[in-house]
Amino acid sequence: MKNIDNIAQILERNAALWPNDTALVEINPQELENRHTTWREYSLIEPSAFEAFRSEITWGEFDAKANRFANLLLSRGFRKGDKVAILLMNCLEWLPIYFGVLKAGCMAVPLNFRYTSDEIRYCLDLADADALVFGPEFTGRIEAIAGAMPRVKLRLYVGGDCPSFAESYAAMASYCSSKSPDVKMTSDDDAAIYFSSGTTGFPKAIVLQHKCLVHSCRTEQAHHGQTKDDCFLCIPPLYHTGAKMHWFGSFLAGGKAVLLKGVKPEWILRTASDEQCSIVWLLVPWAQDILDAVERGDVKLEDYNLERWRLMHIGAQPVPPSLVKRWKKIFPNHAYDTNYGLSESTGPGAVHLGVENTDHVGAIGVAGYGWQTKIVARDGITPVKPGEVGELALKGPGVMKEYYKNKEATDEILKPDGWLLTGDMAEERDGFIYLVDRAKDVIITGGENIYPVQIEDFLRSHPAVKDAAVIGLADERLGEIAAAVVSVKDGMTLGEEELSKFCLDLPRYKRPRKIIFAEVPRNPTGKIEKPRLRKMYGASSLVAKQNGLA
């Protein structure tokens, strides 16, 4: 499709060309465990139980569901530009509801499923949400703030046993027309509000236009060559740009996608095998768990048919080179790619390594399809020399329109000439961009800059280390010191003396001065929750201020 005014046109095209082809599959392996049934026996259980485990919709059904929801919104007085918040776990209803919002000319406002009641209310208020669609997992949280959402004039519940303070989504939508509503939209129209991850403080509301979403589709397909025959395995939460925008390449090609509700290694491998998935996007912890399970013998690759799995790519966080080397050893036939992006640039793809560049593992890559990159000095304008560390800046059709109702924050990172400052420190070597660290995470010890990602990658190369995070703690003499929070692989032991000896291969100023053995907290998109760690382990007010926490 060459001339696309809005992303919903792609759905309508898919429904017209392939109305009876499978568009989305939902796999819920927890249902099997609840019923004490093995995966291999699921086809023998009764139809109703089978549908709880595996369900699917065609492109025709997908489009019809989206149209019904769009017409429901229009029948209730919603108009172009109104905001509809979506608070759902991954499920078959998620994407039809999202596209229904867009078809009505409204703005979709996906919410993080981990938000507390207060955080939900904060984001609803910030986005000026007019409606809320939520699932059963959130009934208690919504009930707690039901009387404090005066602007939210429509509350729709997706599931059985609808609470008294909401209306049934299924009951309301079933009475509406399945024909596409006549709402005119252009590529410059606002399409969605996404929230920043909140790893550096309160989330900000990011406004994306239809042209941002459409370009994301084209970027993803240009990078990974999705065709109609590809099957995309989607595991991360759909509220985040990462999961949805990676799916966009398959969406543009009309390929099938599988929504897996669970991250256990055997569930991922079994789904990839049974559904014949060809593209799988993983977060670092999930890839790590798969490798550990294979190496321990907990899962045996000969039990799965993974011949169609052609591409494994990772994004949302720095990827340890040691993990990629391990992966290629166990899965030598997989093409590998990593993508870099942020919600302000419509998710992944602004920078990508490229499947042809696996000899540059460790780099985040080169400018993505339709994108420009540069690394700038502190003034946010002047490019630094190759090999020097500066802030990564991006320019392209996927750059956000603004932070909603926050001109000051918008002006800080979005320059008049269209360049977006990412807040990530990077350097260019041999034509490839290497991510060094978040600008706010840089540790200054004795006048030397320490970039935690470099130390974290080193620590993860120890055979007993499962994950690692490095934060700065106050020190009277040095200003700050590097403290490492380390989690150990299951079934293995590791002590401070052994790890400190391992760190002797690091330059002295980069060696962690404090080692803490504990779990490394990550948000749903895999990013380390550094503010949480600083709070847990006593970052001083000075360090907190330097890192954007005070």
Q: What is the pLDDT of residues 329-342, one digit of tens each?
A: 999 999 999 888 88
Compute the distance between CA of residue 356 and CA of residue 411 in angstroms, rounded to an integer: 37
C-beta of residue 214 within 8 angstroms of C-beta of residue 13: no
Q: How confident is the model at residue 547 (pLDDT cuts 50, 70, 90)?
A: very low
Predicted local confidence at residue 543, as pLDDT = 40
C-beta of residue 187 within 8 angstroms of C-beta of residue 373: no
Compute the distance between CA of residue 508 and CA of residue 484 in angstroms, rounded to an integer: 15
- Of residues 535, 414, 427, 419, the one with CA closest to residue 485: 535
Phi, psi of 401 (to 5 degrees): -75, -45
Predicted local confidence at residue 435, as pLDDT = 83
Give me the domains of the chain, ranges plus CATH numbers. Answer: 8-262 (3.40.50.12780), 311-438 (2.30.38.10), 442-546 (3.30.300.30)
Predicted local confidence at residue 192, as pLDDT = 98
Which distant-in-sequence residues (6+ apart) come within 8 Å of 44 by Cβ?
A: none
Compute the distance between CA of residue 293 and CA of residue 408 in angstroms, rounded to an integer: 48
Answer with the residue of higher pLDDT: 240 or 135.
Answer: 135
Answer with the residue of higher pLDDT: 49 or 141.
Answer: 141
Compute the distance between CA of residue 42 and CA of residue 301 in angstroms, rounded to an integer: 20
C-beta of residue 452 within 8 angstroms of C-beta of residue 439: no
Average pLDDT of the residues in 455-474: 90
Tokens of 332: 């030598």
Global confidence as pTM: 0.83
Compute the distance between CA of residue 81 and CA of residue 457 in angstroms, rounded to an integer: 44
Compute the distance between CA of residue 23 and CA of residue 34 in angstroms, rounded to an integer: 27
- Burial-class residue 72 by CB neighbours within 10 Å (0-12, 13-18, 19+): buried
Q: How confident is the model at residue 318 (pLDDT cuts 50, 70, 90)?
A: low
Q: Which residue has the tokens 């259980």?
A: 45
Average pLDDT of the residues in 408-435: 92
Give the whole-number percent of the chain exceeding pLDDT 70: 91
∠ CA 89-91-92 to the nearest 5 degrees? Answer: 155
